[in-house]
A = this chain, B = another copy of it.
Amino acid sequence: MSSERLIYLPLGGAGEIGMNAYVYGYGKPGKERLIVVDLGVAFPDMDSSPGVDLILPDITWLKERRNQIEAVFVTHAHEDHVGAVAHTYDQLKAPIYARSFTSNIARRKMDEYGHPEDAITTVSAWPEQVTAGPFTVGFLPISHSIPESSALVIDSPEGRVIHSGDFKLDVTPVVGEAFDPALWTEVCKDGVKALICDSTNVFSPHAGRSEATVGPAIEKLVSEATGMVVATTFASNVARVKTLADAGARSGRSIVLLGRAMRRMVEASVETGVLRDFPTTVSPENARAIPRENLMLLVTGSQGERRAASAQLARGKYQGMEMKEGDTFLFSSKTIPGNERGVIRIINAFSEMGVDVVDDSNGDYHVSGHANRPDLETLHDIVKPQILIPMHGEHRHLREHVKIADGKGIKGVLAVNGMMIDLSGNTPKVAEYVETGRTYIDGSVQIGALDGVVRDRIRMALNGHVVVTVILDENDEPLGDPWCEVMGLPEQGRSKAPLVDVLEADLSQWLGRAKPATLQDDDKLNDGLKRTVRQSAQDEIGKKPEATIVVSRLS
């Protein structure tokens, strides 16, 4: 029996939907040659990550082993798979492989961050394969909500592993490659050791619908609308953007793309040849001369993002365009759980303008890009793996997917971020637990999710902040009165006097009574002032604020 092993280690995406980063390794324990599949981001929210710009998986484990990394493979150009490639490049410096459309998007990101575009090598679809140390990797086309999505066929001395990437089973995807069951059957015919599989829609009980099915409803809506039509969808859903644009063109409307991502995706699609016959678009400036009933805007912001085009239009003018009573706004999208408030805000703003909002509540204008439960089972039956490791899901999705596998006689392994699985031999086992976490991009800095910065922001948001300034003279005696500044606290409390006056009075009193030993001791003084001001606030306004104490000693 070989002392070498095949390992699988998720660092992101197995325990959340987002920030995908999966590692495969082959070799002697501790000396494995590694490949990384996807390096993606997740998006922050006010509840848990206020002020943060982007969330990345913590790649410390990879950084420490950068000399073992053969290559990074990117399955498709969604942000949660490609979004961290540029942010992590300096730390890993590994060659990156992707197919043409994905490379186009990835190179734009590398360029934006000043990294060499030639770090990315464009690879063709199966049967082309890339040799990466002990691995041979091929990109196997699969349908999804972005062009040129691929699964990876990962061969090593331990056998063939299929990493599904994100997928659905769509034989009429409108743009991009149709799912080809014959090709997949061929690739899997000699046996597949493990299928590492997308679990997003494991709880959706009905078979997924093809992208082609939304065309007719969209056509009808666009042709019957009397004013301007504005439609939002994910810019990366090129098939949907085309469906919408075609519907607009067929009903005599000029197409305007609003939002940087929208224009960039269409550009990349045309450049790489995945999109043909896209209607000629019109700039916002030129659109002003066109009657509203002959206009259709395709805009970013389907998730209610504050700075995207949808939200901007909900607040007023954007690039010279504005909504008017009688216009139609279509959400050709699903609201990702967590984004409801922003989307609802936009819908009501449009309602106040007299704009008719159409969304997907009846299932007419959007289909998912992920496989539902019956589709997952279909893929299991085609691939026939010995082992199934769910990925791309929260714990509840992974757990359910394992249940399905076990019910079909496939060995299911519930591997969450940090669980390294040894796939060698016949029985998968946990090899070790690796420390994982999240890195935040915050302004121009990378910070650890747990290092206190965000925790302190949340505390200030919940409790407000008081700053106490005290000056002590050369004899450690208070010089003047303590001074309070507050932020995020009410002007007045119980006493109906200015809050700062009440706090300063209580601090003065405490200082007046403090013993010399306390006044001379930085820690004791600091603690005493903090305790006093927080208690004073609690009595006055019913809250204990965050407190910063600044003691200046003149000696």
Q: Which of A137-145, A188-196, A422-430, A540-548 contacts B (4 or more CB under 8 A)?
A: A540-548
* A543:B442 contact, CB within 8 angstroms: yes
Contacts of A546 in B (CB 8 A): 487
The contact string, 1 if C-beta is below 8 Å from chain B, for chain A 386-407, is: 0000000011100100000000
Given contacts A347-B396, A348-B394, A396-B348, is CB(A461)–CB(B46) below 8 Å? yes
**Which A419-473 residues have C-beta < 8 A from chain B?**
442-445, 447, 451, 453-454, 456-458, 460-465, 467, 469, 471
* A51:B395 contact, CB within 8 angstroms: no
Contacts of A492 in B (CB 8 A): 445
Q: Which of A30-38, A224-232, A288-296, A334-342 contacts B (4 or more CB under 8 A)?
A: A334-342
Determine the interface band of chain A, counting residues with CB < 8 A from chain B. Answer: 35 or more
Of all chain B residues, the one with the shortest Cβ separation from A336 is B340
> In angstroms, how far is the closest chain B Cβ from the Cβ of A19?
16
Contacts of A205 in B (CB 8 A): 362
Contacts of A543 in B (CB 8 A): 51, 442-443
* A445:B362 contact, CB within 8 angstroms: no
> In angstroms, how far is the closest chain B Cβ from the Cβ of A416?
8
Report if A357 contacts B (CB, 8 A).
yes
**Which A340-388 residues have C-beta < 8 A from chain B?**
340-341, 344, 347-348, 350-352, 357, 361-362
> In angstroms, how far is the closest chain B Cβ from the Cβ of A343?
9
Report if A550 contacts B (CB, 8 A).
yes
Contacts of A184 in B (CB 8 A): none
Report if A267 contacts B (CB, 8 A).
no
Contacts of A550 in B (CB 8 A): 467, 469, 483, 485, 550
* B488:A456 contact, CB within 8 angstroms: yes
Bound Cα distance from A444 to B492, whole angstroms: 11
The contact string, 1 if C-beta is below 8 Å from chain B, for chain A 88-124, is: 0000000000000000000000000000000000000
A542 partner, pick from B45, B445, B454, beta carbons under 8 A:
B445
Report if A203 contacts B (CB, 8 A).
yes
> In angstroms, how far is the closest chain B Cβ from the Cβ of A55?
14
Contacts of A480 in B (CB 8 A): 552
* A487:B548 contact, CB within 8 angstroms: yes
Bound Cα distance from A460 to B463, whole angstroms: 11
* B394:A51 contact, CB within 8 angstroms: no
**Which A518-545 residues have C-beta < 8 A from chain B?**
541-543
A461 partner, pick from B444, B458, B489, beta carbons under 8 A:
B458
Contacts of A478 in B (CB 8 A): none
Contacts of A463 in B (CB 8 A): 51
Bound Cα distance from A463 to B454, whole angstroms: 10
Interface residues of A, dominant DSSP: mixed
Contacts of A443 in B (CB 8 A): 490, 541-543
Report if A554 contacts B (CB, 8 A).
yes
* A445:B490 contact, CB within 8 angstroms: yes
**Which A residues have a C-beta under 8 Å from some C-beta of B?**
45-48, 50-51, 203, 205, 337-338, 340-341, 344, 347-348, 350-352, 357, 361-362, 394-396, 399, 442-445, 447, 451, 453-454, 456-458, 460-465, 467, 469, 471, 479-480, 483, 485, 487-494, 541-543, 546, 548, 550, 552, 554
List the 10 shortest-distance A-B pairs measured between CB atoms, nearest first: A443-B542, A444-B542, A443-B543, A461-B461, A457-B488, A50-B461, A351-B396, A460-B460, A337-B340, A51-B462
Q: A351-B396, A444-B493 are in contact. List 19 more A-B contacts (CB 8 A).
A: A46-B47, A46-B50, A337-B340, A337-B341, A340-B340, A348-B396, A442-B542, A443-B490, A443-B542, A444-B541, A445-B494, A453-B464, A457-B462, A458-B461, A467-B485, A469-B469, A480-B552, A483-B550, A487-B546
- In the assembled complex, 29 residue pairs joining A and B whose CB atoms fall closer than 8 Å, in A order, are A47-B47, A51-B461, A51-B462, A51-B488, A205-B362, A338-B344, A348-B394, A348-B395, A348-B396, A351-B395, A351-B399, A442-B490, A442-B541, A443-B541, A445-B492, A445-B493, A445-B541, A445-B542, A453-B464, A456-B464, A456-B488, A460-B460, A460-B461, A461-B461, A467-B467, A469-B550, A479-B554, A487-B548, A550-B550
